[in-house]
Structures are given as structure tokens and as C-alpha cells.
């Protein structure tokens, strides 16, 4: 009897499972067959969030495509996409990558080349330096969503009060002097905010440009690290001194976002960082100093080369994508002229994705809404990834070195620089240890003996 | 009717019983043993295999067998030794704080006072906050040098603010982890104290023992077992502290808060060095086992007496 009851329960259960399966198959199958589901990995920057919001326009125009978003913080995004692509996981159909990864991954054959773009996409409209940065052997491997260089932001009201006029091309010597003049911690204003958080894409992004313009470089032509040189010492000493004297407290944990928050709440007199912040700082919805922020080119010291960086966030299709055709339709839409216009329509021209298309910069509406447009355009145009330093380099890239090993070296050197900023190491110690770390790593990977 | 069926089932023929007994126990245990072994051994073997290769995810063409090359590379890295030192400091100091304060609080919370129930709940609640969340609370609401509560207070007193994560990074992590784990020690030690025979205390008091002596010679020996258990369990968790460091200092500034777990994370997910990270992982396994042997021995000695 008991056994019978047990058997009954079991049979009912199995029938139930079967029914659920059948129902699921009936309801889900036709839909799954009809719709292509694209999985898109992207970074949680403001412009990408706007893209996510506006993508319902794309799905309305392409009813056969469904979008699934994986939005992650920059470092986590890099980890997820790299491990997925390197192990051929095939999890993503579209990935958001930067101009550092694109050529490296293209050389590995991890990305689909984008050589069959529709004519109305107008590839020639893309800004030349950005386009070169996303190409390998003359072929485009990713489409730029926004591009950036670096520039100087300052508070016009404070500078006026101190009687300073900023030339179009300031120098770091001037920046150091101005920082002392506008520094007023009693009223919660610090002379200068700069990146301090360690990481090859955080503090080293800025510090590489500083070193470049002080005449230094990462490697000599034999791939020997050149960190323990007078140029690096001068640049890093300048950085540590000016930040200790006129920087905000806790600077060694400030990255781009932290500094953006500090500047937009009026706590910084000056800030040198990505041009993409210009739109955010001028937007009264997001910035308390929107009417008082002024712009200049990134400062230079002895050499003008490589004092402003070049970066773009771009959309690419991994070789493992299941729906490359649909993926290409999406990335051409998200980086097209129509998309730029769509953002302008919904959020105003100031929110339009900057730094990718000539047509954005020739548009009178954009020029009027964005007083910084010319500086951004000139900074991007003058950034030259082929000649980042005054001396010849075996690598390409202004604020990075285009070899896969650079992530490790940049991260480790970044840690030592953050330690120098936090006064846990002297500048000399930080430089020496960085040189050793870089040498060790280059030897381990077989670049040098 | 059911009862009759049940009775017939309850008395099977003796021969059947014997045959059932003859099934070797190993055959019955085997499936779970095999699953457990696979569960343990497969990842371990893979880690050993990867640790013998030069294998960076970003440089697949450079993959080759290098023998102990990764171990040599890792063991000659000064950062590894720094991180092992930091791991040990972290474990030892948090153990000291949680057990010391935990014993003190357990004695206090054992006294009768008004609102004891609420006070106990409040004291225990930090343990239920997720590590990442408590790290964020401490970072942004308490220790932030501009907006944090501590900075507001010290500034209000005219003392200026401490930049916790830049000036005292390791101490900050120790404070956060101790805050999270103090309730655990308190909880276990409190239950241990409650099992203390009040007659013993009474007798000791009659003999003229002062409170301090009572604590030293009656309460503390009674607690020693519980303390040993707390120390062992906490050590296992403290060797792998990660979330608090990841959220607050990111291992820095410099290497000031890079413990072994964070060091391996750096190797594996920021440098994509699978070989190096596996070698580091194996070193961590050895270290954990060394500490475990020590602890198990001392606990076992405690449990015998």
C-alpha cells in the first residue's frame, strides 16, 4: 500500500514535470526561433547608460532583435570580456573595449573585422586618430562610441579673483604656481585634483602623459624599461609635491569618477583629466559649477608630445559571436550619425557622444552648446599614438604601451606611484621599485635577457 | 490494513537480513567519496598543472611548460613576502581584538541590566551585514576624509581629519574586519559563559576571591575551549579576507593592504597570469595548511584536558 502511494506520488510528479516542459516548449520555442538575442557587455559610464535607454528605438526598428545588457564597472568589464574571449566562451555578441585592447585582440584573431560597413555609415567621417587607434593593418576592428583626449579644467571665478589669465597652452610650471594661488582649504577648495588611485587605466593614464611631456618614455628601443631616469624623477616629484601641497585629502584613492564628483561640487580649483568630463561639468543638471568651469589644453612641460592622451570606448564583435550580422547592425546604429542626432534630440546637444565624428564638430548646434568643442577636437587631433615621446619608442600609444604585458606592468607601477603619493614610499624608492618590477616582468615574458 | 503490511515488512526472513549485511559498506559510501574526491582533487590537479606552465590569457601563443619557473618567479617577488606578512598581521591582530574584546563584552552582557535583550541584538547585528556592504559603509560614511562621520567629528573638535585609507590603511582594514567578526566571538563566548556553573563562582566568592581573580581563575579557564574554537574558525575566514580590501583600498596604497588573497587576485584577474596565479594559489594552500596544523594541535590539546 505504502509503495503504491509512493509510486502514485512519483508518477504525478513526473507527469507534472512533463507538462511544465511541454508548456514551456509551446510558449517559448516560436519566440526563440523568431528573435535574435544579442548579449552586450558594456561599461557603466554615463554615455553608455544613455545608449541603453535609447536602444528601444533600435529594437523598434529591428523587431527581430532582442537586446540583453550586461553593464559592469570598467575593471570588472575588462576581466569578464577578456576571460570570456580568451577562453572562447562565446558569452557576448558585442563587447565594449578601448583603443588599448582593440589592436592587440585583433592581432590575436579574437575580433571580427568590420570591412563591410554600409555606405551611409560614412567611415570617413570618423576622426582620423580615433580610427587609426581602432585599426590593425589598416582594417577597422571596432566602432568608436566616444573618443577622448585630456585637458585642463579650472574655475574661472577663482582664477579671476587671483588675477590669473590662462593661456591656450599652459605649462606644468604655471599649473604648479596657480595651484598655490587658488588653494584655499579653509573654504573647502583645493588647488588641484589629479588621479591618484592605482591602476594602469587610472593614475598611470595621467602620469604617462606627464612623463611624456617631461621628456620620458616607458621603454627604450631594446624594450629596456626606462623608469629610473631623470625625466621620470622630475615628473613624479612634481606630481607628488603639487598633490601633497595643494591636493585634496585622500587623493591616493581618487580616480576619474571621484575627481569628477569633487570638481563638480566645487572642491577643486583645477583638474587635468579626460575631455569627456567637459560635457558633464558644463551640464547644470550634474554640476554645481556649470557656469564657472573654464577649459584649456592639457599642460605641457619641455616637450609637447604626448601631453594629452588618446582613448576611445568602442564596440566590437568577438569572433565567437553567434549572430555577427545582427551584432554589426547594432554597433553601426549605436555609433552612427543618426544616433548622435537622437541623443541631441532627447538630451540636448551637450550630451551628444563626443570625439568620434567630424560631423558632430562641424554642426553649429553642437558648437554653440559645447564651448569646449574646439579644444577637445584639437587635443584629439594632436594626440599621436605613433610618436608619444620626444625620444623614439618601440611601442604605440600615448598613455599606454600597446603590448599585452602592459596591464601587469602599469598596474604594478601604479601601485608604487600611489604609495609615493600617500607618502609611504619616497619618490626615489617608488621609481627604483617600479624600474625593478618592470624589468622583472619583461624578463619573465622574454622581451629582454 | 496498513499495520498488517507494516508488520510483515518488519520481519523479513533471516537469510535476507544476512545478505543485506554482506554488502560491503565501501560500495555504499563509494559514490559520495568519489564525488568528494573529484570535487577536491580536480581543481587541485588543474591548479598544479597550470602552475607548471607559462600561461597568460592574453598571450596564448607564448604557452609552454616551464617546470618550476612560475614558482621561482613568484617566490622571488618581494610583493609575495610582503603579502604573506600582511596576511599574518591581519589574522593575528583581528584574532586578538575579536577574542579580547569578545571575552570582555561576553562578561558584560552576561550581567543583568536594563535592556539587555536589545543590547545583545545590537551587538550581534554587524555580523549579518555583508562584507562588501559594511566595507562601503565604513569607506563612504565613516572613514571618508571629506564627508565621513569621523572626519566631521574630529574637524568639529578642531583636530583636522585623518585620511584613514591613505595614512593608516592596514589599521583601517583591521578595524572593519574586527567590527564584522566581534559579534561572532561575542556570541560563542557568551553562550560558553552562560554554561558556567554559578555555584563555582559562589564558592570562590565565599573564599574571598576578588572579581579580577574570579575572572582569571574561574571564568577564563572555563572559556578556554570556546576561545580555541573561535580562534580556529576565525583564522580560516581571515586567511581569505578579500571583499573589504577590494572595496576600500584596492590593496594599496602601494602594497600596504595586499594580503595573499588579493595578491592572487591581482595575478589572475588584473595581469591574467594563470600560471603565476596558480603557483600563488598553491603557496596559499601550503600556508593555510601550516596555520591549520598549528591551530588544530593547540585546539586538540585544549579539548583533551
ipTM value for the complex: 0.76
Pair type for strands A293-297 and A311-316: unpaired
pLDDT of residue A366: 92
Q: Which tens digit of pLDDT belongs to each residue from A255-303? A: 888 899 999 999 999 999 999 899 889 988 889 999 999 999 999 998 8
Q: Please report where in the chains the cell 538575442 appears, as a residue.
A: A37
Gap between the Cα atoms of B67 and B48, Å rounded: 11
Residue B233 CA, distance from chain mean position: 6
CA–CA gap between residue A321 and residue A330 (Å, rounded):
13
Of B1, B5, B253, the CB nearest to A422: B253
- Does the pLDDT value for residue B210 go beyond 70? yes
Distance from CA of B255 to the nearest CA of A (A): 7
Asked if residue A361 lies in contact with residue A377, where contact means CB atoms within 8 angstroms, the answer is: yes
The CA–CA distances, whole Å, from A121 to A431, B267, B279 equal 47, 41, 49
Average confidence (pLDDT) over B76-102: 93
Q: Which residues of chain A have pLDDT under 70?
A: 1-4, 6-7, 9-10, 13, 17, 22-34
The strand pair at A143-148 and A135-136 is best described as unpaired
Q: What is the DSSP letter of A36?
A: E
Q: How confident is the model at residue B3 (pLDDT cuts 50, 70, 90)?
A: very low
Question: Please, are residues A217 and A226 in contact by the beta-carbon 8 Å criterion?
Answer: yes
A427-444 helix and A230-246 helix, angle to the nearest 10 degrees: 130
Residues of B in contact with A267 (CB under 8 A): 146
Tell me if A332 sits within 8 A of A117, measured CB to CB: yes
| Mean pLDDT for all residues in chain B | 86
Q: Does B266 touch chain A (CB under 8 A)?
A: yes
A80 to chain B, closest Cα gap in Å: 9
| Res A2: pLDDT | 58
Mean pLDDT for B91-118 is 92
- B273 and A408 in contact (C-beta within 8 Å)? yes
Q: How confident is the model at residue B21 (pLDDT cuts 50, 70, 90)?
A: low
Q: Do A87 and B57 touch (CB under 8 A)?
A: yes
Q: Considering the entire predicted model, what is its pTM?
A: 0.81
3-state helix, strand and coil shares in percent for chain B, rounded to the nearest 5: 75, 0, 20
What is the structure's pLDDT at A4?
Answer: 63
Closest residue by Cα to residue A414 from B124, B164, B255: B255
Mean pLDDT of B234-242: 91
Is B163–A249 a contact, with Cβ atoms under 8 angstroms apart?
A: yes
Is B252 within 8 Å of chain A by CB?
A: yes
User: Is the minimum CB–CB distance between A265 and chain B shorter than 8 Å?
Assistant: no
Inform me whether the pLDDT recorded for B146 exceeds 90. Answer: no
**A236 interaction partners in chain B (CB closer than 8 Å):** none
Cβ distance A162 to A181 under 8 Å?
A: yes
Amino acid at each position: 500500500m505504502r509503495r503504491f502511494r509512493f509510486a502514485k506520488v512519483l508518477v504525478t510528479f513526473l507527469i507534472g514535470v512533463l507538462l511544465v516542459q511541454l508548456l514551456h516548449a509551446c510558449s517559448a520555442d516560436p519566440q526563440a526561433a523568431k528573435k535574435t538575442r544579442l548579449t552586450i557587455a558594456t561599461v557603466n559610464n554615463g554615455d553608455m547608460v544613455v545608449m541603453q535607454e535609447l536602444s528601444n528605438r533600435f529594437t523598434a526598428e529591428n523587431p527581430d532583435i532582442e537586446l540583453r545588457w550586461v553593464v559592469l564597472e570598467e575593471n570588472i568589464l575588462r576581466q569578464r570580456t577578456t576571460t570570456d574571449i580568451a577562453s572562447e566562451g562565446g558569452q557576448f555578441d558585442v563587447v565594449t573595449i578601448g583603443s588599448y585592447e582593440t589592436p592587440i585582440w585583433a592581432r590575436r584573431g579574437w575580433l571580427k573585422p568590420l570591412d563591410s560597413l554600409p555606405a551611409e555609415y560614412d567611415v570617413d567621417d570618423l576622426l582620423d586618430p580615433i580610427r587609426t587607434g581602432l585599426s590593425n593593418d589598416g582594417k577597422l576592428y571596432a566602432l568608436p562610441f566616444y573618443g577622448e583626449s585630456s585637458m585642463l579644467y579650472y574655475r574661472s571665478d577663482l582664477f579671476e579673483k587671483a588675477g590669473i589669465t590662462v593661456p591656450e597652452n599652459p605649462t606644468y610650471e604655471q599649473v604648479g604656481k596657480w595651484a598655490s594661488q587658488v588653494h584655499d582649504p579653509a573654504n573647502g577648495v583645493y588647488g588641484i585634483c589629479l588621479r591618484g588611485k592605482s591602476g594602469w587605466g587610472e593614475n598611470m593614464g595621467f602620469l604617462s602623459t606627464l612623463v611624456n611631456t617631461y621628456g620620458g618614455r616607458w621603454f627604450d628601443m631594446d624594450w629596456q624599461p626606462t623608469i629610473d631616469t631623470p625625466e621620470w624623477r622630475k615628473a613624479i616629484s612634481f606630481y607628488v609635491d603639487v598633490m601633497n601641497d595643494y591636493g585634496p585629502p585622500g587623493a591616493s584613492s581618487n580616480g576619474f569618477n571621484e575627481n569628477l564628483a569633487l570638481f563638480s561640487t566645487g572642491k577643486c580649483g583645477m583638474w587635468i583629466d579626460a575631455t569627456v568630463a567637459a560635457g558633464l561639468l558644463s551640464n547644470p543638471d550634474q554640476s554645481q559649477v556649470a557656469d564657472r568651469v573654464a577649459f584649456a589644453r592639457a599642460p605641457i612641460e619641455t616637450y609637447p608630445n604626448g601631453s594629452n592622451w588618446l582613448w576611445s570606448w568602442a564596440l566590437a564583435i568577438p569572433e565567437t559571436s553567434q549572430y555577427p550580422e545582427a551584432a554589426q547592425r547594432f554597433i553601426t546604429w549605436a555609433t552612427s550619425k543618426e544616433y548622435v542626432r537622437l541623443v541631441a534630440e532627447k538630451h540636448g546637444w551637450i550630451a551628444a557622444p563626443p570625439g568620434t565624428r567630424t560631423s558632430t564638430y562641424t554642426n553649429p548646434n553642437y558648437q554653440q552648446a559645447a564651448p569646449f568643442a574646439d579644444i577637445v577636437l584639437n587635443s584629439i587631433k594632436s594626440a599621436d599614438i605613433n610618436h608619444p615621446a620626444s625620444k623614439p619608442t618601440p611601442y604605440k600609444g600615448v598613455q599606454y604601451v600597446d603590448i599585452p604585458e602592459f596591464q601587469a606592468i602599469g598596474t604594478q607601477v601604479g601601485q608604487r606611484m600611489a604609495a609615493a603619493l600617500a607618502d609611504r614610499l619616497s619618490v626615489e624608492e617608488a621609481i627604483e621599485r617600479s624600474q625593478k618590477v618592470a624589468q622583472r616582468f619583461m624578463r619573465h615574458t622574454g622581451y629582454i635577457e | 490494513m496498513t499495520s498488517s503490511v507494516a508488520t510483515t515488512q518488519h520481519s523479513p526472513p533471516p537469510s535476507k537480513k544476512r545478505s543485506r549485511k554482506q554488502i560491503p559498506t565501501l560500495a555504499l559510501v563509494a559514490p559520495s567519496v568519489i564525488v568528494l574526491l573529484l570535487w577536491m582533487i580536480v581543481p587541485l590537479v588543474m591548479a598544479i598543472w597550470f602552475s607548471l606552465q607559462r600561461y597568460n590569457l592574453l598571450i596564448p601563443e607564448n604557452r609552454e611548460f616551464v617546470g618550476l619557473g612560475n614558482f621561482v618567479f613568484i617566490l622571488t617577488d618581494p610583493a609575495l613576502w610582503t603579502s604573506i606578512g600582511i596576511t599574518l598581521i591581519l589574522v593575528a591582530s583581528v584574532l586578538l581584538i575579536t577574542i579580547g574584546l569578545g571575552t570582555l563584552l561576553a562578561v558584560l552582557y552576561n550581567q543583568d541590566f536594563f535592556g539587555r535583550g536589545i543590547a545583545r541584538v545590537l551587538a550581534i547585528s554587524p555580523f549579518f551585514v555583508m562584507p562588501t556592504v559594511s566595507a562601503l559603509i565604513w569607506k563612504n560614511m565613516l572613514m571618508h576624509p571629506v564627508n565621513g562621520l569621523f572626519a566631521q567629528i574630529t574637524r568639529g573638535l578642531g583636530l583636522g581629519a585623518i585620511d584613514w585609507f591613505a595614512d593608516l590603511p592596514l589599521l583601517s582594514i583591521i578595524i572593519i574586519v574586527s567590527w564584522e567578526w566581534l559579534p561572532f566571538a561575542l556570541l560563542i563566548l557568551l553562550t560558553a559563559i552562560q554554561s558556567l556553573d554559578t555555584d563555582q563562582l559562589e564558592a570562590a566568592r565565599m573564599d574571598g576571591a576578588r572579581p579580577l581573580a574570579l575572572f582569571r581563575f574561574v571564568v577564563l579557564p572555563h572559556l578556554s575551549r570556546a576561545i580555541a574554537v573561535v580562534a580556529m574558525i576565525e583564522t580560516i575566514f581571515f586567511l581569505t579576507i578579500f571583499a573589504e580590501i577590494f572595496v576600500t583600498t584596492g590593496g594599496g596604497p602601494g602594497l600596504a593592504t595586499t594580503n595573499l588573497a588579493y595578491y592572487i587576485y591581482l595575478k589572475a584577474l588584473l595581469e591574467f597570469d594563470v600560471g603565476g596565479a596558480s603557483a600563488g594559489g598553491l603557496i596559499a594552500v601550503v600556508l593555510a595548511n601550516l596555520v591549520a596544523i598549528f591551530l588544530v594541535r593547540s585546539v586538540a590539546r585544549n579539548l583533551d584536558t
